[in-house]
Amino acid sequence: MFGLGWTEMLVIGIVALIVVGPEDLPQMFRTMGKFTGKARGMAREFSRAMNDAADQAGVNEINKSIKAAANPAKFSTDQLRKAAGFGPETQKLSEEREETRRKVSEYTAKKAEERLAREAAQAEADEDEAVAAELAESAEAEAEATPRPQPEQSETSKS
């Protein structure tokens, strides 16, 4: 009704029960119902009067023609083709467009294949670089792990 949910209406009812009291509560709800009914009736009457005024002014006919123009299903197919410039005299143009579409499609397919080949080559090069870096790291790790021979000390330095 006024955007109130059941919980809000329940709270209002409880507050009304406390404020008004249980004896006068049914009479208050009855009065509110009559007021609401009168307000709705007045709103309905106002809306009806506005619709009648719009009918007399011809607004509804304009509204119908605008809606029909916005909805192509309302127009006949011939009128749409005529308005868009499609017809038997434009058949050659559509063949030219089809040829252009075919050329563009072939060109984009060729470029897509080239791009995929470049990406695959780049991925392979990246993979090779990663393998080379791994091998270099493992070689460094091995070199650090192997003990280096100590130079022999001469006997003169021992004494």
Q: Could you read off the pLDDT of 134-148 as tens digits, one per residue?
A: 888 888 877 777 766
Given a cut of 90, is residue 37 above it in pLDDT? yes
Given a cut of 60, is residue 125 above it in pLDDT? yes
Max distance between CA atoms of the chain, in angstroms, equals 130
Taking the mean position of all CA atoms in its chain, how far away is CA 53? 41
Give me the amino acid identity at 133. Answer: A
pLDDT number for residue 40: 94
Q: Tell me how far apart the alpha carbons of residues 33 and 152 are, in angstroms, rounded to a whole number.
A: 114
Q: Where are the domains of the chain?
A: 87-135
**pLDDT tier, 72 (very low <50, low <70, confident <90, very high otherwise):** low
- Range among 52-61, 83-92, 117-126 with highest mean pLDDT value: 117-126
Q: Measuring CA to CA, how many Å separate 76 from each of 64, 85, 87, 132?
A: 16, 14, 14, 70
Given a cut of 70, is residue 101 above it in pLDDT? yes
Given a cut of 80, is residue 99 above it in pLDDT? yes
